[in-house]
Amino acid sequence: MDAENKAIGESVIFRHALVVRLTHWVNVLCLLVLLMSGLQIFNAHSRLYFGNNSVPENAVLVMRAAQKADGTPVGLTTIGNTTFDTTGVLGLSTSAGGQLEARGFPSWITMPSYRDLATGRRWHFFFAWAFVLNGLAYLAYSLWSGHIKRDLAPSRPQLRNIGHDILEHIRLRFPKGEEAKHYNVLQKLAYLAVIFVLLPLVVLTGLTMSPGLDAAFPFLVEVFGGRQSARTIHFLCATGIVLFVIIHVGMVLVSGVWNNMRSMITGRYRIEPAE
């Protein structure tokens, strides 16, 4: 019998295979380090552009420090033609030493917390390859075991009822009984978008920013419209992954922390009876 659908008692199922659980937690570690070290790298030049060249007037995102008319320092974030006061968070924040300093993202969210581009790059590149290898292991297992087709591919009835599922999630009403034994359509679509869209894009755009790989695979720069475009797409995809994680963690919290955590540690998931 398939391990992921094997019943363990009347109200508990075995939901996640060992490979899925292991690769999940490796992903958690890799993504955390990649995010924090990536922001350290971003802080070295806290601007984003499209195209090949970093022309200041063509920046689509800028985080910077400035001074008000009275000399007070202020942190500013500009997106397109709109500028926001983000003092204390973006552009200007408090350093580990308690002093205000000009930097894109604050020290508490970067790795290392102090300014060190070289160390940030070393952490980022090491965990990027760990992330890629872990992802390939998960993908290989999923294709071999049928995990993607069986557990993540939405059925036609699920797609037809997507509006109902959206309303149920807004109301914080979660599946029970037989429905809770499988991912709902919103979970499936979100996982598929991350696995087959955001993650491949973030990896490919990361490779595109490497001069050495550009020399070996020059078509990557053309595919993404320039190295600066690749950097911007990389940033946007990373932002999309962060948003997914925030929503994912939020759903874990409101739908049952212990039950969800247990399922990703031991594989066992408790099913509440349908009302």
Pair 11, 89 in one domain: no
Q: Which pLDDT does position 121 carry in this prediction?
A: 95
Cβ–Cβ < 8 Å for 137, 23: yes
| % of the chain with per-residue pLDDT over 90 | 60
Pair 60, 84 in one domain: yes
CA distance 20 to 29: 15
Pair 131, 98 in one domain: no
Say which residue the tokens 């008692």 belong to.
Answer: 9
Pair 89, 29 in one domain: no
Q: What is the pTM of this model?
A: 0.88
Beta bridge partners of residue 102, listed in sequence order: 92
CA distance 14 to 264: 10
Q: What is the DSSP letter of 17?
A: -
Residue 109 within a domain: no
Pair 31, 130 in one domain: yes
Pair 214, 193 in one domain: yes
Per-residue pLDDT reduced to its tens digit, 67-84? 998 889 999 999 999 999
Residue 45 phi, psi (nearest 5): -155, 90
Per-residue pLDDT reduced to its tens digit, 189-218? 999 999 999 999 999 999 999 888 877 888
In a 13 Å sphere around the CA of 67, the CA atoms on its Cβ side amount to 4
CA distance 205 to 228: 10
Pair 23, 88 in one domain: no
Pair 165, 229 in one domain: yes
Q: Which pLDDT does position 11 carry in this prediction?
A: 79
Residue 275 within a domain: no
Q: How confident is the model at residue 135 (pLDDT cuts 50, 70, 90)?
A: very high
Pair 126, 245 in one domain: yes
Pair 68, 132 in one domain: no
CA distance 30 to 241: 13
What total number of domains does the chain contain? Answer: 2
Pair 97, 120 in one domain: no
Pair 220, 195 in one domain: yes
The domain containing residue 86 runs over which residues? Answer: 47-104
Per-residue pLDDT reduced to its tens digit, 109-128? 999 999 999 999 999 999 99
Residue 262 within a domain: yes
Close Cβ partners of 134 (under 8 Å, ≥ 6 residues apart)? 23, 26, 27, 30
Quick check: 59 pLDDT over 80?
A: yes
Q: Cα–Cα distances in Å, from 12 out to 43, 150, 176, 257?
A: 47, 19, 12, 16
